Amino acid sequence: MTHQGIWVVAEQTVSGISRVSFELLAKARELKEQGGLQAPVTAVLLGENLDDYYSAKLMEAGAEAIILVDHPVLRYFQNETYAAVLKSLVEERQPSIILMGATAAGSDLAPTLGAKLHTGVSAHCVDMRLNEEGHLVAVVPAFGGKVLGDILCTNFRPQIATVRPGILGKVICFMHKQCPVERFDIADILAQDQSRVKALGITYEEMKGVPLEEAEIVVAGGFGIESKEIWQQLETLAAVLGGAVGCTRPPLDEGWAKESQMIGTSGKSIRPKVYIGMGISGATHHICGMKDAGLVISINKDEKSPIFDVSDIRITADAATILPLLIEGLQKNEDDVIC
Amino acid sequence: MKLNIAVCIKSVPDPEWYEKITIDIKTKTITRKGIPSIINPVDKNALEAALQLKEQFGGKVTVVCMAPPGATNELYEAMAMGADEAALLSDLAFAGADTLATSYTLAQGLNKLGKFDLVLTGTESADGATAQVPAQLAEWLKIPHLWNVKEFTFATEQELHAKVKMDDAVGEYVIQLPALLAVSREINKPRYTTAMGVMKARKKTLTILNKNDIDVNKSLIGQVGSPTWSGDISIPSLARKGQELIGTPEEIATQLIAKLRAAGINPAKRREGDGK
Amino acid sequence: MFTFTEEQEMLRKVIREFVEAEVAPKAQEWDEANHCPVELFPMLGEMGIVGTFVPEEYGGAGLGFVERSICLEELARHSAGLAITVMAHQLCMGGILNFGSEEQKKKYLPDLATGKKIGSLSLTEATGGSNFMGQKSTGEYKDWQWVINGRKCFITNSHLADVDLWTVITGQNEKGKPIMTAFIIDKDTPGHTAGRTEHKLGLCSSNTGDVSCVNVKLSPQQMLSQEGDGPKIALSTIQEVGRAGMSAICLGILRGCLEESVKFSNERIIYGKPLNKLMNIQFTIAENKLDYESAKLLTYRAASMKDKGLLCACEFALAKYAGNEGAIRAAKRTIDMMGGYGVINEYPIGRFLRDTLAGSTAGGTSDILKVVIAAETLKR
């Protein structure tokens, strides 16, 4: 087959490059080694003002070749424009595998590109490997993570897959000297771009404390948190522990938590050192998002909660009674040390 | 301005029942016997958005679904909620389709049914959750799309202004009609279906279209037309051997703090560390 | 013998979705606070739950009694208190629909059927509900007006109703028997007031109390049907609307008992096994199931007879009798099975028992129902 090599479509964010891009580069290097592939792992980055910082970062994370597409039009994600650019790049260079983060942009871009190229796309994989024939085997969750299935695309190239941020976890710092950095000109493509969708701007949510997916400690609350006051105590506990607050659907519906705090298949996948679930019963789609946590502590009134089956420490109690005691206990110890 | 709106819905096993899903070890297939089917939850938000537009501007709302014949229930339910017409794309040849073949079939169905100003879908299905059909459907229809839309308004008669959920951010876009929007659950609260709606539904038109009724290229539908295929399936075991903390709430809190310490979590040290 | 149509199945599904979202989470709270959730009425109206059997031309859903029973069963599954509020409201609508003039129907039904206004039927007096011919309230025709005086008790929606149907004695016939006549009284009519509120054993999220009329002056247009039609109106409304509704409500409570017993026995682990592995527990489940299914058949059969215009007084009496007694038995059995959990209010089963006991009088106690059933059976 003429298609060769693994591409990672990296994503520019307000503060640099999204972490999942680095996770994908580490995975791409692993796949390359596993399959004994020759072609370099190539990072493709679309954005604006892509200076040396970006290529250095991508190289450090494992890119062996870099294609930068730098243009003011690419400042914000626009599915039509981004897909048109990638389509012409792919048709020209013919990679075998394309990996993207299953971010908001990636989840939209991958299927759009897949349809344009008439090839298969595996959505939000939790793992991937190469089989004996060298085809990509993408492990994809279904039914809220209850079932895992292998997805293959053997007759079409490239094989496209998106991966949820945080699922692969590892970011590796590679020590290598130089890699070719190419700047791809898109003037011709833009000339043909119909641009029926145009971005006007993007507003970032104000982040409180540590981002959920980077926190070492996550305190998450669910249906069993019965009032806003108890929810605020839960936030206090997270602050005392220096952690982040996560949630399931009910606190979000109550308006106590934000969409960006939701853990699960329709939210974020996390792998903190410690996860403390309060009043969370443990529906499959939530468990799918927190199963990789180090120490799992669960507090729930209902002794039959499924979350207890996936917990290291189980406490059958009302979160409302334990919360103030924990906060008090932790703060007291803190003062003791300082005095 | 009258709008001709299509809403694509999916019939999915009720997520409340996912715990009951098992795998047949021999055939490697998923057993969902006895699990009721429902309209994919976020697709109801898409339908609600369509109904609100119809109420505001006038026009027609057509619901379209590609599924086995049993899905007529879900289509009648959508008409009970307020859709004017429904079409079921149903044929054995459509079975085993991945997102590309599914979206092709839906696109051909929509082309057969008329010219739509707006095609609305949910962001993703509760079962497969690939979230890929909306974008690919728009590609087959050769119309622009936006995915994960949480709000939209008409800027002009030919242009929508939409807010799109990004990661920890909201993007603002303009998009030209005809267009496809995949909406997220924040966009509205779907109305309840009323008794009157239920009774009216059976008097509305439900068309069943097979592969000959819609103009399809046979190499693009069903399993044949799907670039991807499924290999092994498994149900992962996530069980941990837990330890239960018991005692009075005070005793439990003390034990838990000790456990946190043991795991290297110490708020006091953390505070010193933060001071660096 | 009796099966539901596809529409009826879908109706049940959509009403259930509504009830699970809007009623179930708050039912216990309403009960504990003695709060009747009238705030839900406009929504119930939009849903077609209150005006189920009212024709579309009067703002209703234009459906039959099978559909009405489905709606009441689904409501009562989670809140029998709300269900009986709707049922009593429907007594008022039933009276106006079946006996009112075209003008009266046009004036009252649209607001009632859409839940914008609440109705009641004030029939029972201190002399007893079933001995309704013994009632003491009077209506006197003076100066081109009817003057109403009297006191009604145990009236559901007494303090909430905007439209109140009354029966009063308006004279004596040639044989010296009382002539009973029905009137429609608007809430703001001077002299019409609600009195004490009852504190009940169950159905606490419904409102029950006294209503008095002191020299309430009504124009002749407020008379329902003709002078002397009171007994007909009262009997038909109580038997065919009231008893029919109560049998569906009892059925809803019964299903609650059945579902709670199944859930508890599946989840509760005892001696290392789920409770449902014990044979005596299986007996409880089987008995609950039989009580539910038999009451269900009787209720929907009677309702479908009513929809076909057949006589069904005996059938509704059977249905309510089976449903109410069945629910009492099922609730007691389930409480026994649940042990300590059965008597704490975090579980709804105790409320189900209280509700079904409190619901025993509405539409006739079991003893009255037995008399009705026996009379019909002995005729043959």
| Identity of residue A4 | Q
The three-point CA angle C153-C327-C90 to 5° equals: 45
Domain that holds residue B249: 241-276
- Whether C60 and C133 map to the same domain: the answer is no
| Identity of residue B194 | T
- Whether C215 and C274 map to the same domain: the answer is no
CATH number of A212-338: 3.40.50.1220
Say which residues have a Cβ less than 8 Å from residue B155's Cβ, sequence separation at least 6. B161, B174
Whole-number pLDDT of residue B187 = 95
Is A224 annotated as a binding-site member? no
Give the pLDDT confidence of C323-367 residue by residue, as tens digits: 999 999 999 999 999 998 999 888 999 999 999 999 998 888 999
- Whether B141 and B257 map to the same domain: the answer is no
Is A279 annotated as a binding-site member? yes
If one counts the domains in chain B, the total is 2
Helix (H, G, I), strand (E, B) or coil at C132: helix
- Whether C292 and C335 map to the same domain: the answer is yes
- Whether C319 and C345 map to the same domain: the answer is yes
The share of chain B scoring above pLDDT 90, in percent, equals 68
- Residue B274 and residue A334: Cβ atoms within 8 Å? no
**CATH code assigned at C359:** 1.20.140.10
Asked if domains A6-192 and A212-338 share a fold, the reply is: yes
- Whether B113 and B190 map to the same domain: the answer is yes
Q: Summarize the confidence of residues B185-195 as an average pLDDT.
A: 94
Closest residue of B to C19, CA-based?
A: B192
Closest residue of B to C12, CA-based?
A: B195
- Whether B80 and B26 map to the same domain: the answer is yes
Helix (H, G, I), strand (E, B) or coil at B120: strand
Q: Where are the domains of chain A?
A: 6-192, 212-338
Burial A289-323 (b: 16+ CB within 10 A, else e): bbbbbebbbbbbbeeebbbbbbbbbbbbbbbbbbb
**C211 belongs to a structural domain:** yes
- Whether C105 and C166 map to the same domain: the answer is no
**B108 belongs to a structural domain:** yes
The complex's ipTM works out to 0.89
Give the pLDDT confidence of B100-149 residue by residue, as tens digits: 999 999 999 999 999 999 999 999 998 888 899 999 999 999 999 999 99
- Whether B189 and B251 map to the same domain: the answer is no
**Residues of chain B found within 8 Å of residue C14, distances taken between Cβ atoms:** 77, 80, 192-195, 197-198
Give the pLDDT confidence of A179-219 residue by residue, as tens digits: 899 999 999 888 887 779 999 999 987 766 678 888 889 99
| Residue numbers in chain A where pLDDT is lower than 70 | 1, 207-209, 333-339
Mutate to test the interface with B, among A313, A318, A331, A332 (most CBs of B within 10 A): A313
- Whether B156 and B273 map to the same domain: the answer is no
Centroid of chain to Cα B191? 17
Asked if the C-beta of B238 comes within 8 angstroms of chain C's C-beta atoms, the answer is no
Task: Provide the strand spans (E) within chain A.
Answer: 6-13, 16-17, 42-47, 65-70, 97-101, 121-125, 127-130, 136-142, 147-152, 159-163, 181-183, 197-204, 217-221, 244-247, 274-278, 295-300, 313-316
Give the pLDDT confidence of B12-37 residue by residue, as tens digits: 998 878 777 777 767 767 777 788 89
Give the pLDDT confidence of C225-282 residue by residue, as tens digits: 999 999 999 988 988 899 999 999 999 999 999 999 999 998 887 887 889 999 999 9
- Residue A148 and residue B235: Cβ atoms within 8 Å? yes
Asked if the C-beta of B169 comes within 8 angstroms of chain C's C-beta atoms, the answer is no
**Residues of chain B found within 8 Å of residue C67, distances taken between Cβ atoms:** 195
- Residue B228 and residue A120: Cβ atoms within 8 Å? yes
**Residues of chain C found within 8 Å of residue B202, distances taken between Cβ atoms:** 6-7
Is A16 annotated as a binding-site member? no
Q: Count B/C contacts: CB-CB distance under 8 Å.
A: 52
Is A138 annotated as a binding-site member? no
Establish whether the linkage from the previous residue to B13 is cis, with ω within 30° of 0: no
Is A265 annotated as a binding-site member? no
Least confident of B258-267, C19-28, C325-334: B258-267
Q: Which residue has the tokens 């247009």?
A: C221
Mutate to test the interface with B, among C4, C47, C50 (most CBs of B within 10 A): C47
Best CA proximity match to B177, nearest among C280, A176, A197, A293: A197
- Whether B67 and B133 map to the same domain: the answer is yes
- Whether B139 and B45 map to the same domain: the answer is yes
How high is the mean pLDDT of chain B? 90
Superfamily of domain A6-192: HUPs (3.40.50.620)
- Whether C202 and C324 map to the same domain: the answer is no
Of the residues C183, C203, C231, the one at which a domain ends: C231
Q: Measure CB to CB from residue C52 to each of B76, B193, B195 and give the nearest one.
A: B195
**C1 belongs to a structural domain:** no
Looking at the predicted structure, is the pLDDT value of residue C106 above 80?
yes
- Whether B57 and B184 map to the same domain: the answer is yes
- Whether C223 and C294 map to the same domain: the answer is no
Q: Measure CB to CB from residue C49 to each of B73, B77, B195 and give the nearest one.
A: B195
Looking at the predicted structure, is the pLDDT value of residue C33 above 50?
yes
Give the pLDDT confidence of B39-96 residue by residue, as tens digits: 999 999 999 999 999 999 999 999 999 999 999 999 999 999 999 999 999 999 999 9
Whole-number pLDDT of residue A338 = 37
Domain that holds residue C40: 6-118
- Whether B249 and B204 map to the same domain: the answer is no
HSE of B112, CA atoms in CB hemisphere, 13 A:
21
**C19 belongs to a structural domain:** yes
Whole-number pLDDT of residue B168 = 78
d(CA C87, CA B55): 33
- Whether C168 and C271 map to the same domain: the answer is no
**Residues of chain B found within 8 Å of residue A287, distances taken between Cβ atoms:** 238
Q: Which residue has the tokens 């259930």?
A: C16
**B235 belongs to a structural domain:** no
**Residues of chain B found within 8 Å of residue C7, distances taken between Cβ atoms:** 198-199, 201-202
- Whether C291 and C357 map to the same domain: the answer is yes
- Whether B186 and B258 map to the same domain: the answer is no
- Whether B126 and B247 map to the same domain: the answer is no
d(CA C134, CA C124): 10
Of the residues C88, C118, C148, the one at which a domain ends: C118
- Whether C238 and C266 map to the same domain: the answer is yes
Name the token pair of A275: 């996860």
| Identity of residue C105 | K
- Whether C227 and C238 map to the same domain: the answer is no
Whole-number pLDDT of residue A333 = 59
Give the pLDDT confidence of C170-223 residue by residue, as tens digits: 999 999 899 999 999 999 899 999 999 999 999 999 999 999 999 999 999 999
Whole-number pLDDT of residue A208 = 64
**B227 belongs to a structural domain:** no
If one counts the domains in chain C, the total is 3
- The answer to whether residues C250 and C323 touch, using CB atoms and an 8 Å cutoff, is yes
Higher pLDDT, C118 or B167: C118
Q: Are strands B179-183 and B145-156 parallel, antiparallel or unpaired?
A: parallel
**B99 belongs to a structural domain:** yes
- Whether C252 and C190 map to the same domain: the answer is no
**B35 belongs to a structural domain:** yes
